[in-house]
Structure 1
Amino acid sequence: MHALNANEAKTQFGALLMKAQRTPVQINKNGKPVAVMVSIEEFENIEEIKRQWLQTRFSNAQQEIQQGDTADGDEFFSELLTSKYD
């Protein structure tokens, strides 16, 4: 992945837009990654994958509820907190 610092991204914005059409471009500020610019097509693909994943998780949860495969919320979080500090 190509990377630019924030100042380069600002001064070379036109070139940045062209690069982002071909490959994601990482933007760094003070030496740390803060953003990635991607093409609209890539962004839409990512959003579709997220939507499909959420839809699958929702369907699975509905099936588990219908089968009675649920957990008590208080008990679940109590066990989670206990195991976290063991």
Structure 2
Amino acid sequence: MVSFTASEAKIQFGEVINKAQREPVSITKNGKPSVVVISADDYAEIEQLKLQTLRSKLAHSLAQAKAGQIHDIETVFDGLMKDL
């Protein structure tokens, strides 16, 4: 992954955009990773994967409910929140 400091990214913004079209670009601030710039296509793909994961968890929960495997709300949210 290509990396720029925040100052470099500000000055070379066009280059950051060009590189981000091909691979993620890390931007550091004060020597620490701050953000990653990715292409719009990569972002859309990540969002689609997140939606698929959520739908899968919902389908699993509905199947459990239909099978009579009911859980209290704390258990449900604990399972969902552990991935965050």
Aligned partner of 1:28 in structure 2 is 28
Structure 2 partner of 1:8:
8
Pairing of 1:51-70 with structure 2 (within 5 A): 51-70=51-70
Unaligned runs of 5+ in 2: 77-84
TM-score (norm 2): 0.82
Superposed displacement of residue 22, structure 1? 0.4
Normalising by structure 1, we get a TM-score of 0.81
| Bigger radius of gyration | 1
> Offset at 1:20?
0.3
List per-residue Cα deviations over 1:49-86 (Å, max 9, x = no partner): 1111111111001111111212234689xxxxxxxxxx
* Cα drift, residue 34 of structure 1: 1.1
Secondary structure of the 1:52 match is helix
1:40–1:57: structure 2 CA closer, same or farther, 3 Å change rule?
A: same
- Structure 1 8/74 Cα, relative in aligned 2: closer, same or farther at 3 Å? closer
Task: Give deviations 1:2-33, integer Å, cap 9, x for gaps.
Answer: 11111111010000000000000011111111
Q: State the distance in 1 between where 2:59 and 2:75 align.
A: 24
Taking only aligned residues, the RMSD between alpha carbons, in angstroms, comes to 2.0
In the alignment of these two chains, the number of paired residues is 77
